[in-house]
Amino acid sequence: METISKPVIQVRDLGLSYDDYAVMRGLNFSVNKNEIFVVMGGSGCGKSTLLKALIGLKSPVEGEVLYEGVSFWQQDEDKQQGIMRRLGILYQGGALWSSLTLGENVALPLELYAKLSPPQVREVVELKLSLVGLSGYADFYPAQISGGMRKRAALARAIALDPDFIFFDEPSSGLDPLSARSLDELILQLKDTLRAAIIVVTHELASIFTIGDNSVLLDADSKSMIAIGNPRDLLNTSSDPRVIQFLTRGEKTSLPRLPTGSQGGQGAAR
Amino acid sequence: MLLGYEAVQSVAFRNSLFELTYKLGLENKAYMPSSQLSFDYPSSETLRVKLSGEWQISVGLPSDNECLSQLSSNKEITEVTFEPSGLNKWDSGLLSFLLRLIKECGKRNIRVNRQSLPEGIERLLILALREHKVSVPQEAPIAIPLLERAGDKVLQIQAGFVSLFNFLGDIAVAFSRFLSGKAYFRGDDFRAIVQRCGADALGLVSLISVLVGIILAFVGTIQLQLFGAQIFIADIVGIAMVRVMGAVMTGIIMSGRTGASFAAELGLMQANEEIDAFKTLGISPVEFLVMPRVLALMIMMPFLTLYADFMGILGGFFVSTVFLGLNPVEYLQHTQSAVRLSNLWIGLAHSFVFGIIIGIAGCLRGMQCARSAEAVGEAATSAVVTAITSIVVATALITFVCQVLGV
């Protein structure tokens, strides 16, 4: 009997704005455990603003974000902090604390929230750095390593507390194709290992098709989501020219219907 | 062979003559470009534009006024064609001319036949003539009424105060957690900040304080020597340095040095999303970053001020004994009797308050910083301006209170 996975993150009628300027409205989607959900859309469409609303950095003007059924923005600050501790976030530029070594960056959340002795913290740090392929780099400072390595180190910090929900903001930006590909593979490995719900904000098509189980496409003109579903299914089944244009880098506005071989759910253009 | 040589010589001579006349300003006409523009009419309704020579920005371009005047003067023209057979080299110069011509023709409903243009030019023209969809998020108001602008300014000031009081509240919470032993920050970071706010600033504080002492001594001499009372320079320098000048000068030095550094440091962390990373990990950036900085300045400012007082008195001592011939022992005795302990406490109180002001101003501007390189610079500048202004205001207030209390 097939088990129906329960959504662990739900976004309901979410509306976002900067002062009086509406960025996005009417967002509705859900993310399951052990799923990679991609938020895609062109530059300036509101992807990063949506991410901020999901991780507690920007309150929405309407709607709600639910983590395992608990509405994040309706909780008091202490409960919000409790939820935020279960999030792991890889920021676009890595956001490693520049005055700390890579080891100290990963160790800081462990020292604060995990009940571990200093030698145990060091062991966990070494493990997390090994997971992202940076074993032996614990004493390096962020300025001493390459952009791709900084992203990996930031990922090690993001997964330090074994989070239930991991967010990636443009993980491939600023990376060469090989580093981007290897980061995608790392995300897939983490999905299998950590069994967390993973949300990736990106507009890199190669990454979208490689890692995405499910996705939502945001549109800057209509300030809303215009499609939801598995990216490959969307490419094959969507009749919306905006969706086809985005997923084919603007090369096509319509596609001949092909039999779908999707891994995830049904695509649906809205 | 000879003819060839003569021709080369002739061209070289003409070139050097032209350069000479051009440099000396003897040539009245502007530099003549090698590109050429001419016209003819294959039929009464068709204007043919003949392009020849080198159309390059680096060698100059002919004026397009004549071409445009042809379009204006001859109302029969319905089509423009091109004759580029004499065209040698071209770059953006030719493209910009063609673009302007095409747009002018568009305004007059004249058809432009571009078939004869080289393929490269045509491709670039297609690219340049694409219509771009410009999305304007909000219609910009043409003119905002004075009252509305005044209202906006009031709201901005109000928002600034709200932001300041929120920040002060956060700092108060962080300090209360620190006093109850619950604050989370790294001891190593704190020690490094203490060193930056203390020992690292000694050189600059020494220089400025000695000079201030010297200035006070020289200025005091001007009036006191009229009465033969130069020995009272010791009183002036001692009281001024210990009671207020030592603290004020140290405050100004630290505003420019440490306050700006705090603002830039936190501003850059804001721009790099490092502050967001603290927030999402549930670590209070005020507790982790701001509180240690303010605390370090609160501790180190009184020590720096004591040191500045000493160096200032040393400067006055040097001038008085070396240049004005005062007795060193007498000078020191006068200083000792003039400077009371209350002066020292008032000076230290100043420095403690200034430490808080500089720390808060630097960190506030850093935390308010937007996410750009320009904003980091603005945050540093704003931190210095805020700190120095606040120091002057605080000095005036403390002086007034001391006056009222009779201390």
pLDDT in tens, B369-393: 988 888 999 999 999 999 999 999 9
- Would you call B276 an interface residue with chain A, using a CB distance cutoff of 8 Å? yes
Clarify whether residues B244 and B340 are in a common domain: yes
> Which has the minimum average pLDDT: A133-147, B21-35, B277-291?
B21-35
Average pLDDT of B257-262?
Answer: 96
B163 inside domain: no
- Alpha-helical (H) ranges within B198-290 are 202-224, 233-240, 246-254, 260-271, 274-280, 285
Split at pLDDT 50, 70, 90, the class of B22 is: very low
Q: Helix (H, G, I), strand (E, B), or coil: what is residue B198?
A: coil
Bridge partners (DSSP) of residue A9 are A31, A67
Clarify whether residues B203 and B349 are in a common domain: yes
Task: Identify the pLDDT of residue A115.
Answer: 84
Percent of chain A at pLDDT > 70 equals 91
Average pLDDT of A102-117?
Answer: 90
Average pLDDT of A79-84?
Answer: 90
Dump pLDDT digits (tens) for B179-221. Answer: 999 888 999 999 999 999 999 999 999 999 999 999 999 999 9
Q: How far apart are CA B39 and CA B48, in angstroms?
A: 6
Q: Helix (H, G, I), strand (E, B), or coil: what is residue B4?
A: helix
Cβ atoms of B198 and B303 within 8 Å: the answer is: yes
DSSP character string of A104-124: HHHHHHHHHHS---HHHHHHH
Split at pLDDT 50, 70, 90, the class of A61 is: very high
ipTM score for this prediction: 0.75
Clarify whether residues B215 and B122 are in a common domain: no
Q: How far apart are CA A133 and CA A186, in angstroms?
A: 9
- Tell how strand A224-229 and strand A268-269 pair up: antiparallel
Contact A112 B283 (CB under 8 A): yes
CA A14 to chain B, closest CA, distance in angstroms equals 20
B98 inside domain: yes
CATH number at residue B45: 3.30.750.24
- Which of B137, B276, B283 is facing A57, going by the closest CB pair? B276
Cβ atoms of A263 and A213 within 8 Å: the answer is: yes
Q: Helix (H, G, I), strand (E, B), or coil: what is residue B333?
A: helix
Chain A positions in Cβ-Cβ contact with residue B135 (cut-off 8 Å): 220-221
CA B138 to chain A, closest CA, distance in angstroms equals 8
Average pLDDT of B263-274?
Answer: 93
Contact B138 A21 (CB under 8 A): yes
Clarify whether residues B124 and B204 are in a common domain: no
CA A115 to chain B, closest CA, distance in angstroms equals 15
Place of tokens 């002795």: A117
- Tell how strand B46-55 and strand A62-67 pair up: unpaired
Clarify whether residues B254 and B332 are in a common domain: yes
More confident residue, A263 or A9: A9
Cβ atoms of B49 and B39 within 8 Å: the answer is: yes
Clarify whether residues B109 and B206 are in a common domain: no
Contact A220 B135 (CB under 8 A): yes
| Size of the A and B interface in Cβ pairs below 8 Å | 51
Query: Rounded mean pLDDT of chain B?
Result: 86
Angle at B306 between CA B305 and CA B311, to 5 degrees: 90
Clarify whether residues B113 and B203 are in a common domain: no
B16 inside domain: no
Strand spans (E) along B261-337: none
Q: Helix (H, G, I), strand (E, B), or coil: what is residue B341?
A: helix
Answer left, alpha or beta for residue A44, where phi above 0 means left and psi between -120 and 50 means alpha.
left
Q: Tell me how far CA of residue B104 lies from CA of B28, B52, B57, B369, in angstroms.
A: 31, 21, 21, 47
Clarify whether residues B118 and B197 are in a common domain: no
Please name the residue of chain A whose CA is at the shortest distance from the CA of residue B274. A95
Split at pLDDT 50, 70, 90, the class of B18 is: very low
Q: Tell me how far CA of residue B91 lies from CA of A48, A55, B50, in angstroms.
A: 41, 51, 17
Contact A89 B280 (CB under 8 A): yes
More confident residue, B30 or B177: B177
Contact B272 A93 (CB under 8 A): yes
Dump pLDDT digits (tens) for A164-213. Answer: 999 999 998 888 888 888 889 889 988 888 888 999 999 899 999 999 99
Contact B282 A55 (CB under 8 A): no
B154 inside domain: no
The pair phi, psi for residue B36, each rounded to 5°, is -135, 150
Number of domains in chain B: 2
Interface test with chain B among A79, A97, A157, A169, by most B beta carbons within 10 Å: A97
Bridge partners (DSSP) of residue A11 are A29, A65
More confident residue, B121 or B365: B365
CA A84 to chain B, closest CA, distance in angstroms equals 6
Q: How far apart are CA B146 and CA B136, in angstroms?
A: 25
Angle at B404 between CA B401 and CA B407, to 5 degrees: 80
Task: Identify the pLDDT of residue B210.
Answer: 96
Structural domain that includes position B113: 36-128
Chain B positions in Cβ-Cβ contact with residue A89 (cut-off 8 Å): 277, 280
Return the closest-CA partner of residue A87 out of A19, A9, A22, A182.
Answer: A9
Split at pLDDT 50, 70, 90, the class of B263 is: very high
Please name the residue of chain B whose CA is at the shortest distance from the CA of residue A82. B282
Q: Two tokens at A53?
A: 């609303």
Domain boundary residue among B85, B105, B128? B128
B15 inside domain: no
Chain A positions in Cβ-Cβ contact with residue B273 (cut-off 8 Å): 91-93, 95
Percent of chain B at pLDDT > 70 equals 88
Cβ atoms of A163 and A87 within 8 Å: the answer is: yes
> Which has the minimum average pLDDT: A39-43, A100-104, B132-136, B180-184?
B132-136
Is it the case that residue A102 has pLDDT exceeding 90? yes
- Alpha-helical (H) ranges within B74-145 are 92-107, 119-128
Clarify whether residues B124 and B194 are in a common domain: no
Most confident of B1-15, B30-44, B146-160: B146-160
- Helix axis angle for B119-128 and B92-107, nearest 10°, is 60
Domain boundary residue among B112, B128, B144? B128
Dump pLDDT digits (tens) for B225-238. Answer: 888 888 999 999 99
CB atoms within 10 A of CB B179: 9
B7 inside domain: no
Chain A positions in Cβ-Cβ contact with residue B282 (cut-off 8 Å): 81, 84-85, 112-113
- Would you call B32 an interface residue with chain A, using a CB distance cutoff of 8 Å? no
B176 inside domain: no
Split at pLDDT 50, 70, 90, the class of B141 is: low
Dump pLDDT digits (tens) for B323-354. Answer: 888 999 999 999 999 999 999 999 999 999 99
Task: Output the furthest CA–CA distance in chain A (Å, rounded).
Answer: 60
B363 inside domain: yes
Bridge partners (DSSP) of residue A94 are A91
Contacts of residue B313, defined as CB under 8 A and 6 or more positions apart, other chains included, come to B213, B237, B238, B241, B242, B335
Split at pLDDT 50, 70, 90, the class of A253 is: low
Task: Identify the pLDDT of residue B33.
Answer: 57
Domain boundary residue among B65, B100, B128? B128
Clarify whether residues B297 and B397 are in a common domain: yes
DSSP character string of chain A: ----PPEEEEEEEEEEEETTEEEEEEEEEEEETT-EEEEEE-TTSSHHHHHHHHTTSS--SEEEEEETTEEGGGS-HHHHHHHHTTEEEEBTTB---TTS-HHHHHHHHHHHHS---HHHHHHHHHHHHHHTT-TT-TT--GGGS-HHHHHHHHHHHHTTT--SEEEEESTTTT--HHHHHHHHHHHHHHHHHH--EEEEE---HHHHHHH-SEEEEEETTTTEEEEEE-HHHHHHH---HHHHHHHTTTS-S---------SSS--EE-
Clarify whether residues B254 and B191 are in a common domain: yes
Clarify whether residues B328 and B199 are in a common domain: yes
